[in-house]
Amino acid sequence: MGRTKKKKRTSNFIEEEKFMLVDLITEKKHIIENKGTNSAIIKEKEKCWEEITNKFNSASTFTYRDTQALRNCWDNIKKRTRKYFAERRREVLKTAESKIALNEILAKDETEKHSIELAIAEKKLICEKLQIDILKTELEIKKTILIREKTKNAMLGILNETE
């Protein structure tokens, strides 16, 4: 009986690799995230992933990564990001809902009704603060991507000048 070779596991992606992958995907995001399923779009996506893989491996001093590994990493980044923001939203809503439920039980006169309205206003304020936090986080990510891109362009400029 012949034994099949077990595929050797590669090392985990490090932060620099993830940032590089995000930078490369950002350039082609309109293709990669296209929801279309016809054969032309699928071929375009496959070609795009091959280009990203080639750029990643040629620019990287890290471990060689195949297309499937990069796709899996990208899917994991998206899943973790969605999960993070969903948990943040749930925490805010849970806190606000428990305050509202408590106030509804106690609401017997006009003063307590005012407390419910105040709790609703607090919930809206908390949600708006969360949206601001999300926007700030997105802005920081974009700033980081921009700084990395500027640094990369500056390094390429220096390399071109020395040649």
Cα 10 from chain centre: 23
Encoding tokens for residue 92?
A: 């805010």
- Specify the number of domains making up the chain: 1
Residue 12, pLDDT > 80, answer yes
The answer as to whether 134 is a domain residue is yes
> pTM for the full model?
0.54
Could you report the per-residue pLDDT of 69-83, keeping only the tens digit for each?
999 999 998 888 888
| DSSP string for 5-40 | PPPPPPPPPPHHHHHHHHHHHHHTHHHHT----SHH
The answer as to whether 30 is a domain residue is yes
Could you report the per-residue pLDDT of 15-62, keeping only the tens digit for each?
888 888 998 988 898 898 888 889 999 999 999 999 999 999 998 677
The answer as to whether 160 is a domain residue is no
The answer as to whether 44 is a domain residue is yes
